[in-house]
């Protein structure tokens, strides 16, 4: 399934302002406004939301991807042209050099499709930082050149985090496209063969589960044991941890929610499942997110919604300043309910 991105289809929902308007108005046929996220934060004594520091430097190196998954919050796909240039990467490295942020999390799109990807990873690795790459797995099987990625990852001590919505083909392909499950299994075998996910190898391979539909993820621990048992039994695949992520009601997942008639129930359920403990642990409190063109955001979701860091903080990587950024307030809106429902949700799974 290679479908068009919202952007190239000229869909209204490709526009961040339109998405925010949808999230801030009552659903069709109702006059009922959902409570404001900031009011919920205030009830939990968390408003304004403040950072606890910067532990993770997340770089989105572009929206280009070999897939067009139905739930994608980036609206990534083969038709996107926004890709981080080398000079912006140089600015990222410069910012890292002047800080001691321990973890660099590289995402996309399919980050490996950025022509400067390998160079960037090598540079960050040589600075002694922990490098995470959000790899969609299928890219490894896309052609011969990408087939050398597992060895490249291993050589650079890359911690791999990969989406696999389910341990069965049907549910995975419905969300990520026909044949994705099979190619993901093939890629996981290649990674396992090199030592990834194997005990004692030091090469970490974590998987990400997100529901293939308009429902919430269940408890992380029990899903992890299901994944481990089933992937081992049917495919001989090993991995380290499973992160459980709630689908964010923005971009293509928002389109799916509206088209399938699930939007209002899903939003209501997110609001009703607001958990103050999860809110206290949201990832924006220890993350800074850099876009392909060098702008700074509180998280990758805010980045996609064009909600920049607060005006009193540096807004571009060329002005990066850890202290000023640590003193900022975090920009929140109605989509933030996606991070605070139940056990919470972040790039590293549950937060509460």
DSSP 196: T
Contacts of 9 (CB under 8 A, 6+ apart): none
Min separation Cβ 72 and ligand SF4, Å = 3
CA distances from 54 to 30, 51, 102, 173, 251 (A): 41, 8, 9, 36, 27
Which of 237, 276, 226, 303 minimizes the C-alpha distance to 63?
Answer: 303
- The number of beta carbons lying within 10 Å of the beta carbon of residue 100 is 9
C-alpha of 230 from chain center: 25
33 is an interface residue for other proteins by CB under 8 A: no
Find where tokens 């650079």 sit: 156
Dihedral (C-alpha) 305, 115, 239, 245: value to the nearest 10 degrees?
0
Are the C-beta atoms of 55 and 237 separated by less than 8 Å? no
148 binds other proteins per the rule CB under 8 A: no
Q: Which of residues 109-128 bind other proteins (CB under 8 A)?
A: none
The interface with other proteins within residues 172-211 (CB under 8 A) comprises 209, 211
Name the binder of 168 from other proteins, ligand SF4, none, CB < 5-8 A by kind.
Answer: other proteins
**Which of ligand SF4, other proteins, none does 41 bind, CB closer than 5 to 8 A by kind?**
none
* Residue 108 touches which member of other proteins, ligand SF4, none, C-beta under 5-8 Å by kind: ligand SF4
How near is the Cβ of 345 to ligand SF4 at its closest, in Å?
8
- Of 108 and 217, CB closest to other proteins: 217
Nearer to ligand SF4, 44 or 93 (CB): 44
Binding mask 159-178 for other proteins (x = CB under 8 A): ---------x-xx-------
Interface residue list for other proteins (CB under 8 A): 168, 170-171, 209, 211, 213, 215-219, 222-223, 226
């Amino acid at each position: 399934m290679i479908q068009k991105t919202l952007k190239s289809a000229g869909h209204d929902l490709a526009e961040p302002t339109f998405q925010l308007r949808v999230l801030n108005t009552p659903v069709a046929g109702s006059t009922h406004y959902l409570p404001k996220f900031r009011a919920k934060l205030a009830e939990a004594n968390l408003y304004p939301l403040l950072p606890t520091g910067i532990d993770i430097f997340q770089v989105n190196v572009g929206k280009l991807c070999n897939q067009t998954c139905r739930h994608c919050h980036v609206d990534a796909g083969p038709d996107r042209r926004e890709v981080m240039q080398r000079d912006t990467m140089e600015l990222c490295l410069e910012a890292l050099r002047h800080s001691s942020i321990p973890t660099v999390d590289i995402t996309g799109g399919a980050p490996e499709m950025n022509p400067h990807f390998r160079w960037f990873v090598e540079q960050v690795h040589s600075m002694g930082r922990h490098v995470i790459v959000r790899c969609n797995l299928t890219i490894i099987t896309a052609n011969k050149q990408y087939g050398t990625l597992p060895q490249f990852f291993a050589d650079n001590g890359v911690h791999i985090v990969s989406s696999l919505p389910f341990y069965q083909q049907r549910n995975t392909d419905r969300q990520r496209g026909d044949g994705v499950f099979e190619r993901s299994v093939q890629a996981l075998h290649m990674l396992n063969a090199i030592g990834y996910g194997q005990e004692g190898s030091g090469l970490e391979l974590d998987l990400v589960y997100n529901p293939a539909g308009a429902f919430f993820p269940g408890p992380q621990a029990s899903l992890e044991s299901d994944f481990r048992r089933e992937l081992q039994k049917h495919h001989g695949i090993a991995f380290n941890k499973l992160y459980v992520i709630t689908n964010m009601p923005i971009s293509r997942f928002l389109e799916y929610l509206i088209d399938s008639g699930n939007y209002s129930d899903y939003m209501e359920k997110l609001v009703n499942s607001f958990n103050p403990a999860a809110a206290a642990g949201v990832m924006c409190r220890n993350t800074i997110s850099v876009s392909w063109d060098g702008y700074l955001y509180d998280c990758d979701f805010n980045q996609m919604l064009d909600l920049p860091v607060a005006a009193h903080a540096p807004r571009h990587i060329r002005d990066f300043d850890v202290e000023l950024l640590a003193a900022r307030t975090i920009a929140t809106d109605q989509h933030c309910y996606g991070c605070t429902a139940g056990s919470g949700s972040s790039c590293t799974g549950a937060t509460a």
